[in-house]
Structure 1
Amino acid sequence: MHFLIIGGGFVGTALACELLKQAPAGSSITLANSGGPLGKGLAYGTQSPLHLLNVPAARMSWTDEQPDDFVNWLAGQGNTCDGAAFVPRQRYGDYLAVRLREHIAARPDVHWQQLQNRIDSLTPEAGRWIAQCAHGPALTADRVLLALGNFAPACPHPSLQALPADRYVGDPWQPDALSGLPADAPVALIGTGLTMLDLLISLQAMGHHGPVLAISRRGLLPKPHRENELPPPQWQAPAGWLAAGSLRSQLREVRQAIGRAQANGQDWRDVWVALRPRTTALWHRLDERARAQFLRHLLPFWDVHRHRAAPQALAVLRAAQAQGRVQAAAGRLLGARVDADGLVALQWRARGGQDTQEFKAARVFNCTGPSTRLAEGRRGLFGHLLHDGRLRPCPLGLGLEVGAGYALADAEGREQPGLFYVGPMLRSQHWEATAVPELRAHAKAAARAALGC
C-alpha cells in the first residue's frame, strides 16, 4: 500500500506520524512538500523568536494520547517552562520535525520518502491516483491525503493590486515583506487581528519607529489570554445550555452566561472553554442561511474572543498605542494610489462617519488573514481539482466538502475513494478546524480511514 501525503505543515506531519504508527509492514509513505522544512508550514516557519504561539504549551502536543508531550520535549531541550507559557512558534516547528524523524526511525519496515516537490494534478486511474509532479516523474499512490492549508489573504480592495510591488505586500509572510523599509517610514496594516500583531512585532524587532495605521471594518483587536490560561474553569455550563433555539437565542444565552460569570467574579474566558466542545454540534445545526448570518454579523466578534493573543504580543501593541505610534481604526477602505511624493495615499472612512480621511504610507500590508475561498481563479493543485470537478467548494467560501471518513467530495457531492483531505478548509463542515487540538483529532481519524481501520 502506497500512501501519498501532500503538505508538510502540522497536519501533514500529524498524518505521517499516525500512518507510521499503524501502517502494515511493507507499506510505502511519501510526503510531498513544496515549501520549507517539514513540520514548519506557514504557521511555524517564522524565524522570529518574538512570534509566539497563541495557545499555552500544555495544549500543543501533536497527539492527544500524550498531552504533555510538547512541554516534556521543551524540558528535554533545556527549555523548562510552565505549561501555561506561550513559547516561540519556531520551537514548535522544531518539535514537530523531531517527532516525525523519531516515527520514521521507529518503522524501518515502512519505506519512507520525503519529496521536495510540488504536486500539480491528481488523476484517478484503475483504482489508484496518479500525482503529476512539477519536476520529475509522476507518482502512483493507493491513498492520497491532502494536508494543504489556507490560501494567501484575499485582496481587500482592487486599487491595492494596481500599486507597485514595493508599495503593497499582499502576503505579509513572504520572506522579503519588510525588506528595504526605512525605520521611520509610515506603514498601513489592513486588518487588526493576529496577523497585524505579528507584523507589528516584526516591525519593532527591526527598529521601526514610524507611524502605523491598522484599520479594519470594525477595528476589533484580539482579546488576550490570561497570564495563566490553565486554571480549572470556575464557570460550569448549566444543564441544557445551548441545546436548542435559533442563532439569535443562542447568542443571547452566551451573552447572559458571560454577564453572570463576570458578576460572580469569574472569568468570561471560562464561558468560551465551555462553548468550545459544543461548537461543531452548534454549527451542524445551522442551515446555510443562519451560517451566512453568523459570518456577516458575528464572525469578527467570534474571532477576537475565540482566537486570543498571547499577553506578551498584545503588550507590544498597547505600548505602541500609548506612545502614539500606532492608531487602530474602525473604517472602510475606499481606495489607494501612489501620490506625487511616491507614498501610497490611502483613503478611508471611519465607521459611522461621513468624511474621507487619508493616510500616506511607504508600504501597505494585507493583514486580513488567510483565505479559504476556492472558487476565485485558483491555480495549482486545488485549481486543477476544481477544474476537473473533483472539489465541492463551500458556497459560503469556507473551504470544501468531505465525507464522514474525510474522503474528498467531488462537484456532485460523491465521495472519491482513496482521496482524503484534512486541514483548515474543514471549517465549512466542522467550523473548529484551525487549531491544533481539533486538527490533531481530524488527522488521527483521517489516517485511520485511509488505513481502513
Structure 2
Amino acid sequence: MSLLNITIVGGGACGISAFIEFFLQLRIAQLHKKISVTIIEENKEVGKGLAFGTKQPGHILNTQADLMGIHFTEPAHFSDWLKEHDERIGHEVVDNQGEFNAFTTRRLYGDYLKEQFEHYFKLAKNEGMQVEVIRARAVSVSEKKQGYEIVLSDNKTHQCDYLVLSPGTPVADNYPKLEGKENYFGSPWPSAPILEIPTDEDVAILGSSLSAIDAVMTLTDNDHQGKITLYSLDGLMPRVQAEDPSDYRCKILTVSNLHKIQREKLRNPTVKEMLRLFMQEAELHDGKKIDWDATDRTGKSAKQLLKKDIEVARNGGDALMNVPLALRYESSEMWKMLDETEKLKFKKWVGNQWNTNRHCMPLVNAERVEKLFSTKQLRVNSDLTDVQFDTKSGHFNLVHDDKTTSEKYLINATGPASAVKDMKSELIQNLSASGMIEAEKAGGIKIHTETMQVMRKGKTCHNLYALGHITNGLLLDVNAVWFNVKTIGNLSRHLINNLTLESTI
C-alpha cells in the first residue's frame, strides 16, 4: 500500500513551519507512518530563502524577537532560543529592548530556522516517517485524477496527494522592459549581485520602503562611497520602531464595534466608518484633538521627517504608530469584514499611509539612514513617473518632479508584488494561466481564509492549499511571521482532520 504524500512547494519560513506542524500533528495522530512529506526547495539551505539567507549585518528583522517564533501558538520561541544560545549570538542582536523585545539580524534568524528544520527533519526520520527534500524549482502543476503532478526545473516530475503552495515573497515584475539591461538589478535579494557595483559609483534605487532601506544597508555595510538616491511614487520612507512602545489597548476601533455595525446595519463596515473609528481611537490615545491635515507626509522632506520620527521613536511612538501596532492581532479579522470594493478603496486611499506607520524600520537602521542624509550621501526623490533605458548612453533615465535624471546603476527595491499578474514567478504565472489559481482583485489569489484552501470558481479545492504572500489580498498581515504561523496552524488542523477521516474510511 503506497503512502499518501503531502508536498510543500517552498522551503522558506512558511514552508518549514508547515512541515514541522504537519509532522507533530501526524505523529500525535499516529498517522506519521501512513503519510510521507516532501519539500521542494531550490536553495541549498532549507529555511533561509532570500531574506533570511542574507549575510549582511545591516539586514535586521523589522519585528521584535518575541513575535518571530516558528512554532504554532509559541510566538516567543525565537526569543527563548536567543536566551538559550546567548554564547553564540555575539553582535547579532541589535537595537535590544530587553530579552523578549530584541531585534536581531536576519542572518541569525535564518540560522534559527535552519536549526529548527534540521532538528525536526531528523526527528521525523527517527520516528519512522518518510520525509525528503527535492532540490529543484517547481515550474508548473497539473491536476490528476487523484492529486497533482509537479513539473520540476530539472525536467523531472513529482506526484503528490496534497499540495501546499508556499513559494515565499514574489519579486515584482513591474519594470519588465529593464530586465537584462546592463547595471540593472531586478531585486535587492539576494544581495551578492549588487555588491559588484563599484563602491565609488552613484546608485539609484527604485522605492523608498523597507526593501529600499535593505538595499541601502547592503551598500553601506560594504563601505559604499558613491551617492545613493531613492526614487518612488510618494517619497515616503518607513517610520521608526518605537524604542519602548506603549502597551496601548484599543477601545474604539475594535472587532466588537465593527461587528456591531454588521449587527445593526445588516452589512459590512465601510472604509470611511473604519477611518472614523481610527481617528477617534488616535485622539483617545493622545488625549487631545489631532490636526489631521498636519499628519499628511506627502511632499515633505524625507530627511526632516526621519529626524522627527527618530525623536518620536525614542519617546515611545505616537498614535499613528501605536494604534496600528495595537491592532496587529485584530487587523486581519477587521480586513475580512470589508467587502472587496472596500478593500480596494482602503488600498487606494490609505494603503501607503498604513504601510508607512505599521511597517517601520528598526531604530538602529534609522540612525544610520539619518547619518547618510547628514553627509549628503543619501537623498529621496518623489513623484516618479517613468523609467527608461537609454541604449546610447547605457544609462537609465528616471522622470520625477517634472525633470529627468540619468543614472548608471539601478536597483529595483519597490517591494513584493501584490497582484498575481505582477509576480515574477514562473510557477505562479503557469498556475494562473492554467486556471489552477484565481487572482483576487485586492491582491494575491482566492483562498478560504479559515482553512487556507485554494478556491476556484467559488469552490474550495479539497487538497490544494496556499500560504504566505500569495494570499495577501484576503489576508492583510502576510508579511508577519507570527500571522503566517497562525494560518499554518489552521491549515494543519484542516488537513490532518481530512487525513484522519480518510484513514478511517
Residue from 471, 474, 497 that aligns with 1:429: 474
Preserved contact between residue 53 and residue 87 of structure 1 (Cα < 8 Å):
yes
Partner of 2:20: 17
Q: Displacement of 1:176 after TM fit?
A: 4.3
Matches within 5 A, 1:201-212: 201-212=217-228
Residue 192 of structure 1 and its aligned partner are, at CA, apart by 0.7
Give the aligned residue type for 1:362.
K
2:495 aligns to what?
Answer: 450
Task: State, as a whole percentage, how many aligned pairs show the same letter.
Answer: 21
2:159 aligns with one of 124, 140, 162: 140
Map of 2:415 onto structure 1? 369
User: Which 10-residue stretch deviates more, 74-83 or 320-329?
Assistant: 74-83
| Counterparts of 2:139 and 2:454, CA distance in 1 | 17
Cross-structure match for 1:39: 47
Change (3 A) 1:405 1:226: same
Secondary structure of 2:473's counterpart equals helix
Aligned equivalent of 1:214: 230
Query: Structure 1's 346 and 378: CA in aligned 2 closer, same or farther, altered over 3 A?
Result: closer
Please tell me the residue identity of whatever aligns with 2:471. L
Tell me the residue number matched to 2:247.
Answer: 232
CA distance in 1, matches of 2:233, 2:140: 38
Give yes or no for the alignment of 1:255 onto 2:300: no
2-structure distance, mates of 1:295, 1:443? 26
Q: Which runs of structure 2 are paired with 1:23-422 in the superposition (5 Å)?
A: 23=26, 24-26=31-33, 27-77=35-85, 78=87, 79=89, 82-107=99-124, 108=126, 109-135=128-154, 137-155=156-174, 161-162=177-178, 165-229=181-245, 232-233=247-248, 236-237=251-252, 241-243=257-259, 244=261, 245-263=269-287, 267-268=318-319, 269-338=321-390, 342-349=394-401, 356-375=402-421, 380-396=426-442, 398-403=443-448, 404-410=450-456, 412-422=457-467
Residue 139 of structure 1: CA displacement?
2.0
1:294-319 Cα distance to aligned partner (Å, 9 max, x none) = 11121110111111111111112111
Deviations 1:217-257 (A, max 9, x none): 2211101111235x633765577555535312321321232
Amino acid at match of 1:116: R
> Helix, strand or coil: the match of 2:410?
strand
Kept after mapping to 2: 8 A contact 1:191/1:215 = yes
Closer, same or farther: CA 360–118 of 1 in aligned 2, 3 Å: same
Measure how far apart 1:36 and its partner are: 4.1
> Residues 164 and 431 of structure 1: is their aligned pair in 2 closer, same or farther, counting only changes over 3 Å?
closer
- Specify which structure has the higher proportion of helix: 2
Cα displacement (A) at 1:112: 1.2
Q: Please, what is the CA RMSD of the aligned residues? A: 2.5
- Report the counterpart of residue 352 of structure 1 in structure 2: none
Report the TM-score when normalising by structure 2: 0.81
Q: Provide the rounded CA distance (Å) in 1 between the counterparts of 2:272 and 2:417.
A: 27
**Structure 1 range deviating more: 191-200 or 60-69:** 60-69
Is contact 2:233–2:382 with CA below 8 Å preserved after alignment? yes
For the structure 1 residues 393 and 266, does the alpha-carbon distance in structure 2 shift closer, same or farther, using more than 3 Å as the test? closer
Instruction: Measure the CA separation in 2 of the matches of 1:389 and 1:152.
Output: 21
Shift of 1:390: 1.2
State how many pairs are aligned: 441
Q: Is the 8 A contact 2:172 2:422 kept in 1?
A: no
Residues in 2 aligned to 1:162 and 1:429: alpha-carbon distance in whole angstroms? 31
Q: Distance in 2 between matches of 1:98 and 1:220?
A: 37
My pick for the range that moved more, 66-75 or 338-347, is: 338-347
